[in-house]
Structure 1
């Protein structure tokens, strides 16, 4: 289980986030919904330790011999933008994370990009670049994956393919947990085990439950607040 406690966040004398707690069970996909500008990306950046680390506490526990013990998780982050180095090939980008070329090729095969290893990022589509970024994230062998609207700006067939890869490589993994940020209800309903909704100003968690315990109409109503 992973627990994130945020004391709150104020930027430019404006409070962005209220104090909030988010718990993610081992092997669970937890979807964070909220309207644009509600602080979802800011919250992910806090969790990843990319900014204002002093306001967030990260706790993790692993079960060994029937006892829970403190544990700091290995975190992988899939950003909205692929963030690939343009002067390096796909393989060269990934070897910065995992030096074993065979391991990299195996994951590239999983996302059907093994034939593009020697291409530069400018020579592949956005959808392909997102798949490369997914590989880079998974090469860290993360226990917890953070995803920030990874299907944004993709056409429907490409988004469907990417969603299938995320489900197979992350959601269906027996021990890998994920916090998935989106404003798309279809993504949330298909991928998540549990859903939280951010709302109000400053942002706070206004709803949290198993995805099976709430209807699409109820989620739509919550997102309008």
Structure 2
């Protein structure tokens, strides 16, 4: 079992403090949900964990190894960013998959009904929701031990959301997954651990009632 330990993360933009003494942990076989209002710093936190952004302070450890730079994270962490796409626009999906996945995982992806309609298409010819599906499937089937998913269901049709959710849950048997999405009901359905980022602090949350107490969800 692999463990990801994130501690003492702080981040400010000018005089505005975004993250303060953030602690988070995840391990193989578990899905950690990351909730928070828009602009609370969820994407910034994921970028710091992945290594594409730097915190004012940070301590990130994979098992017994401290992750100090991007090269330390290779084959340990993979990240699906919220906005920018990591896929080349002119390349067919069928040729892209082996660039990110092992031979075994490539065959698994090729066999998924969900991705088969897109295999002969280029990224440029996909709709926003289709591209999100392909990106999420590739990231969740890559060889990294931990997967960071920022808004994986954005623009995805309700029918495809259910199918994608099932695949993410299945992949978590062998990976640790940290996931953030505004569609909180979907994430709550598959999450093992819940975190709420609010007013610069990250809190471990027990259940929906606590999300209501901290005013993230409306009180019923």
| TM-score after normalising by structure 2 | 0.81
1:37-76 aligned within 5 A: 37-52=39-54, 55-61=57-63, 69-70=64-65, 74-76=76-78
Deviation at 1:109, TM superposition (A): 1.9
Query: 5+ residue gaps in structure 2?
Result: 68-72
Aligned to 1:147: 149
- The 4+ residue runs of structure 1 with deviation greater than 3 A are 69-73
Q: Aligned pairs, how many? A: 207
Aligned to 1:114: 116
Deviation at 1:196, TM superposition (A): 0.9
Query: 5+ residue gaps in structure 1?
Result: 62-68
1:16-95 aligned within 5 A: 16-52=18-54, 55-61=57-63, 69-70=64-65, 74-81=76-83, 82-95=85-98
Deviations 1:23-70 (A, max 9, x none): 113321111111111000000000000011663221122xxxxxxx54
| TM-score after normalising by structure 1 | 0.80
1:98-177 aligned within 5 A: 98=101, 100=103, 103-110=105-112, 112-170=114-172, 173=173, 175-177=174-176
Deviation at 1:198, TM superposition (A): 0.9
Equivalent-residue separation in structure 1 for 2:113 and 2:57 (angstroms)? 36
Equivalent-residue separation in structure 2 for 1:199 and 1:27 (angstroms)? 26
